[in-house]
Structure 1
Amino acid sequence: MKGRNKDAASLPPVSGGAFWNPDEQVFGYREIKKIARHHVVQRGEHVHALPVAVQQISAQWTWNGQAMDVDRYMEAARTSGVIVLKHGQVILERYNLGRTEKDIWLCNSVSKSVTSMLVGAAIQDGAIKSMDDLVTDYIHELKGSAYEGVTIRQLMTMTSGVKYSVEDDMDPRSDVYSLWYPVLESDVSPVVSYMRRMPRADQPGTKYNYSTADTHLAGILVSNAVGKLLSEYLSEKLWQPYGMEEDAVWTVDAAGYEHAGGGLAMSLRDLARFGQFMMEGGKAGGVQVLPPDWLAEATSAQVIFPSRSDRYDRIGYGYFWYISNDGYDHSGFAGQRILVYPNNKVVIAIHSAWLNENQLNRPEYVQMQKAFVEALHASAVAHR
């Protein structure tokens, strides 16, 4: 199968995954557990069924004057898998690039929304008292830094105000890569070491600035609050009770903390199940995992974007979720997506390995995926 005959030892470091060539990217995203230090998110004994609907959808649309369908798109955009659920039933599921439904795939920044969910679970469990608690109450190493006075709410809406460069996945000098360089501080996450040296750029709560660092800190915060590994807590709160089908893996930093902003790898079906869990009100195994009022806040625009400032036409940002007029989503580098449309009871999950040698190609891929998602959503809404 294409992309499977690679040697994990020959790949560049995971922190440089944006610079993998196309074959390395396909192998690396699927076989991340062979490449990076990680913790396993263990599944349980039962599996949450995803029944296949009798009637399937077959989206068709026009892109740049050319007729497109799902298969043409998946080849053009190097998509390894796409699944669409409506009312919890599968109405489309396809795989590509030598991948099967059993393979996990690195979700990149889609991981941020799973971290968001774990913050809500910790609030429901009483381990975190309030979104207005201070970050430094849970990460003591940040006391005296620019995070002094920053609330969990501000951390999760990317309004911490701590200086952090605009993320450029193709620039090795960007903060998003510098975060992971080892800092010689025993048992301290490299992210904590790096970010506690950063100055304050804006008053907390006043300016949105997309920051993987803030998400990683949110993961450390949850782990400290619940006294467990983030991967262990995710298994306990979601993977086992909801019935995920495959073990997931979560890559870790030099201190053993999970990369909460981008290191989670799971199967495509389990990514869709996560979206379904959110749409069902945050319940797993008959237990309310997420506070309903918190869930409503998390998936509402806490930050409003300037008109047409977002490349996917989103209106704002919630708690590590992008917000649109008809739902919420998150995206990850190289074409990873999870989209939830509560009013239409539709979930769409996509895994990809976009070409990345030429950064100028990326806007075209984004717009192509936007058209793809719109066609999938329209077909799902029309499905009876």
Structure 2
Amino acid sequence: MKRFLAAAALLAVTTGCNASDAAADAITPDMLPKDLNVLFWNQDQRDLAFRTMEKVPKVVVNQIEAGDDVYPLPEGAPIDLGMDVDAYMAKQRNAGLIIVEDGKIRLEKYALGYGPAGRWTSFSVAKSFASTLVGAAVKDGYIKSLDDKVTAYIPGLKGSAYDDVSVRQLLTMTSGVKWNEDYTDPKSDVAMFNRQQPVAGEDITVSYMKTLPREAPAGSKWVYKTGETNLIGVLVSSATGKSLSQYLSEKVWKPFAMEQDAVWMLGATGHEISGCCISASLKDYARFGQFILNGGVAGGEKMLPDDWLAAATTRQADIGVPGRGYGYQWWTNDDGSFAAQGIFGQGIFIDPKRKLVIASNGNWPVATDPEGVGAEREAFYKAVQAAVDREKRR
């Protein structure tokens, strides 16, 4: 596999193929963090590691194989956003930003020494990939119904709070099982479950999640839980008998003709961390958006049930934010747009009405900041929508 990018040119904003991908091999494992607790890496460590997570000591990955063909993303006319995009990217600490409208690239820029040949980690953007694999498994008959109990596919959860939880409730994060996703608290569940000691014959995610107590009836309360997306990955692998990387390659990466191989980080017991940690190129993140925008069709074959995307990308749970909700591991907006989002500025925004995909990679100063850089990103999405609308009116 290709290895990409170096420590040089960390602050240069470039476009297209001018980015300094060729210096990638200058990043060596001794330059990277020695622990795996990404929430407590410093900014310089993140700048290096996010572009080459597979080189971080102790990290093991599976390859998501691409095929021989490449889904075309031809260049379109530059889009006039009426703003200084370079300044926006610098404030966001974007490594890459791409706008694809009606299948054509309207803007593509890179920074932080990153470029089009490189990969960048996804964090929770991977959640939307994982839920899409549930849809594929339903279409393929591996999962019979979203109303099945989770324990039918993950027997190790029997006797826990997950006895009452359906696959659908896992997808919508409405299990009612107690969880703390505070990224600043080293004692939160999202920090602690990464320190779970492996148990022989059991996935490490199951070992931790089965210890959690119930705080609300199943289906009655939404709480964001990365650990439950990790359970979704275990469920898909258990149902299909395949690794997530293999299944994603079979259902999306090869048939939709992604340009590059991607990688997916493994947990301590050798299973993909499905709530996180796919590393792919910026254009392939945009191509995944196109796959969803095109109705889940790849290689002329529909990979998802006919009604899947209509449910997955619309509000299934109230998150307490006006105009927004949560679908099947997608953040939804009442205007019909939706997004995959990951900490530190990763995102894929999809607007079917405008045939619009915006993919971004970055390294925000903090993991999550909904009132600061997060709000600025939402404003950028709206600015792009407005620019597309202005063009349509001409």
Cα distance, 1:294 vs. partner? Answer: 1.6
Q: In the TM superposition, what are the counterparts of 1:1-384 in structure 2 within 5 Å?
A: 1-3=8-10, 6-12=27-33, 15-35=36-56, 36-53=59-76, 55-61=77-83, 69-165=84-180, 167-308=181-322, 314-326=323-335, 327-356=337-366, 363-383=371-391
| Native 8 Å contact 1:282 1:292 kept in 2 | no
1:71 is paired with a residue whose SS is: helix
Cα distance, 1:361 vs. partner? Answer: 6.8
Structure 1: 4+ residue segments shifted above 6 A: 359-362
Cα distance, 1:288 vs. partner? Answer: 0.6
Q: 243-252 or 184-193: which moved more?
A: 184-193
Unpaired runs of 5+ residues, structure 2, are 1-7, 11-23
| Native 8 Å contact 2:32 2:48 kept in 1 | no
Cα distance, 1:149 vs. partner? Answer: 2.1
Cα distance, 1:284 vs. partner? Answer: 0.3
1:348 is paired with a residue whose SS is: strand
Cα distance, 1:348 vs. partner? Answer: 0.6
How far apart, CA to CA, are the structure 1 residues paired with 2:106 and 2:35? 34
Cα distance, 1:304 vs. partner? Answer: 2.4
Unpaired runs of 5+ residues, structure 1, are 62-68, 309-313
| Structure 2 counterpart of 1:340, one-letter code | I
How far apart, CA to CA, are the structure 1 residues paired with 2:376 and 2:9? 24
Q: Which TM-score applies when normalising by structure 2?
A: 0.90
Cα distance, 1:176 vs. partner? Answer: 0.6
| Native 8 Å contact 1:158 1:211 kept in 2 | yes
| Structure 2 counterpart of 1:60, one-letter code | G
Could you say if the C-alpha distance between residues 113 and 184 of structure 1 is closer, same or farther in structure 2, counting changes exceeding 3 Å? Answer: closer
Could you say if the C-alpha distance between residues 361 and 282 of structure 1 is closer, same or farther in structure 2, counting changes exceeding 3 Å? Answer: closer
- Larger relative contact order (Cα-Cα within 8 Å, sequence gap ≥ 6): 1
| Native 8 Å contact 1:248 1:265 kept in 2 | yes
Identity across aligned pairs (percent)?
42
| Native 8 Å contact 2:354 2:385 kept in 1 | no
1:210-239 CA-partner distances (Å, limit 9, x unpaired): 000110000110011000000010000000
| Structure 2 counterpart of 1:335, one-letter code | G
Could you say if the C-alpha distance between residues 306 and 182 of structure 1 is closer, same or farther in structure 2, counting changes exceeding 3 Å? Answer: closer
| Structure 1 counterpart of 2:376, one-letter code | M
> RMSD of aligned C-alpha atoms?
1.7
| Structure 2 counterpart of 1:25, one-letter code | R
Q: Which TM-score applies when normalising by structure 1?
A: 0.92
